[in-house]
């Protein structure tokens, strides 16, 4: 913000998005923003650009990304832009863009840049209209009308000072939970901890608060509320792939044979678990926009990512929604007499690493992954005994575990993750990846 992303560039991006929208025969656009300090200024510039192209804007103001996605359905626009830096540091911001139900990624975003560079921007004779409207109450009522807990649960809600704090406590109380809020005041400086629940270090205060109040569990959200993290009463952090298994078992009870999509960073146990519960598992690329596109293509009822994005089509709209996922999680746990920890003991777990990032030279990450995959697939490779997948980077599944190397979608980094039946299997697979990466990139600190 202030360097690459300014109000001037935000207005041009708004005009480009609006031009694309109108060329698709659409006109109305919902705009929302997270709690970042730069959000209001960038949002107003974006709206000015949208209106300049002739779009009519419904400004829902401060709102989690899933509430903006909901507004696009509820207000029948089918299109929205959320001004959000998601889980990035406070000095970042950005835009999540949905046009006619399609979440833009990759080439579609590059095309917006080309439209600006080439000056292919519509300028309407009269600017489009703008109206302010809140959909928070509609969102809460829509969920609470469908999800109600069979018994009360005491839950600590950690919003990490992100925008989820304005809705999550109210929503979970509306479905029958007793809520203890933690860092639910919106502050774009994120003074307490970074709003990224996929990093266990950010959940330490949540663990302490759950124990202090004797809560049944704790839930945490990222900066814009589209991702969910969970800890048990005992303070154990539950990985998102295990939560996805819990959700899958529940959804498949009512939808036998349904497709469940998961990203390449998820547990090797997930596929077997979905099959055993009567579902059809499909591993796909990491990235919320890519998963949503695959859900639309396959008509899947459920999807999830290791980062904590969960996508429910059953009883919901198929977009990633950490707040709704929290409601469904409490619904499942309230149906059982056992504690959350006891329920989750039934879900398979292996030894695993968190996501490991290796920083590389700007723009080289994709070429490095291509080189790595080619070397691993050669006839004399140490990976010969593995089942190799190149759906997103290279994933090598062995009988006793797996390893993954892929290019980050959002920064110049390689992303790795490993899982094994035991620590020896995990370390063996990790050493294979480390050895090959150091051969290809001796100057890289592959100290994973």
Active site residues: 86
Using alpha carbons, select from 254, 273, 244, 230 the residue that is nearest to residue 314: 254
Residue from 230, 243, 224 nearest 288 by CA: 224
Contacts of residue 32, defined as CB under 8 A and 6 or more positions apart, other chains included, come to: 59, 60, 61, 62, 63, 64, 65, 67, 68, 71, 80, 81, 82, 83
131: nearest Cα among 78, 62, 58, 77: 58
Pick the closest to residue 48 from 37, 59, 38 (CA basis): 59
Separation of first and last alpha carbons in the chain: 32
Total residue length of the chain: 448
* Residue in 92, 358, 47 with CA at minimum distance from that of residue 222: 92
Closest by Cα among 318, 224, 311, 303 to 260? 303
Q: How far apart are CA 308 and CA 23, in angstroms?
A: 35
What is the phi/psi pair of residue 334, to 5°?
-70, -20
Q: Give every CB contact of residue 192 below 8 A, 6+ residues apart in sequence.
A: 160, 161, 183, 205
């Amino acid at each position: 913000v202030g360097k690459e992303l300014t109000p001037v560039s935000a207005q041009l991006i708004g005009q480009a998005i609006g031009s694309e929208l109108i060329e698709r025969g659409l006109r109305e656009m919902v705009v929302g923003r997270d709690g970042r300090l730069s959000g209001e200024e960038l949002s107003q510039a974006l709206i000015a650009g949208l209106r300049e192209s002739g779009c009519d804007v419904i400004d829902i103001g401060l709102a989690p990304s899933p509430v903006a996605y909901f507004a696009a359905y509820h207000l029948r626009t089918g299109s929205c832009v959320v001004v959000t830096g998601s889980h990035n540091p406070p000095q970042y911001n950005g835009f999540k863009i949905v046009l006619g139900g399609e979440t833009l990624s990759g080439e579609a975003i590059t095309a917006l840049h080309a439209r600006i560079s080439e000056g292919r921007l519509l300028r309407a004779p009269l600017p489009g209209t703008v109206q302010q409207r809140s959909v928070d109450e509609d969102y809460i009522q829509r969920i609470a009308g469908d999800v109600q807990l069979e018994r009360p649960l005491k839950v600590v809600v950690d919003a990490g000072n992100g925008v989820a704090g304005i809705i999550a406590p109210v929503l979970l109380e509306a479905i029958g939970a007793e809520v203890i809020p933690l860092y639910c005041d919106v502050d774009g400086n994120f003074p307490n901890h970074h709003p990224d629940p996929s990093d266990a270090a950010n959940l330490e205060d949540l663990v302490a608060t759950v124990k202090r109040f004797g809560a049944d569990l704790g839930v945490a959200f990222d900066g814009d509320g589209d991702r969910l993290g969970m800890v048990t009463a005992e303070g154990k952090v539950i990985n998102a792939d295990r939560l996805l298994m819990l959700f899958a078992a529940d959804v498949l009870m009512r939808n036998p044979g349904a497709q469940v999509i998961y990203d390449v960073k998820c547990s090797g146990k997930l596929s077997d678990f979905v099959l055993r519960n009567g579902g059809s598992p499909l591993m796909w690329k990491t990235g919320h926009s890519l998963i949503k596109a695959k859900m639309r293509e396959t008509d899947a009822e459920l999807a999830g990512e290791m980062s904590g994005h969960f996508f429910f089509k059953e009883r919901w709209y198929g977009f990633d929604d950490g707040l709704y996922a929290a409601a469904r999680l409490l619904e499942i746990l309230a149906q059982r007499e056992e504690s959350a920890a006891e329920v989750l003991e039934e879900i398979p777990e292996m030894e695993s690493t968190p996501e490991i990032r290796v920083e590389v030279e700007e723009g080289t990450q994709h070429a490095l992954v291509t080189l790595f995959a080619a070397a691993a697939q050669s006839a004399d490779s140490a990976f010969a005994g593995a089942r190799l997948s190149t759906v997103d980077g290279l994933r090598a599944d062995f009988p006793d575990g797996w390893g993954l190397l892929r290019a980050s979608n959002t920064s110049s980094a390689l992303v790795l993750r490993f899982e094994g039946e035991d620590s020896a299997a995990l370390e063996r697979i990790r050493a294979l990846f480390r050895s090959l990466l150091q051969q290809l990139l001796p100057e890289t600190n592959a100290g994973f």
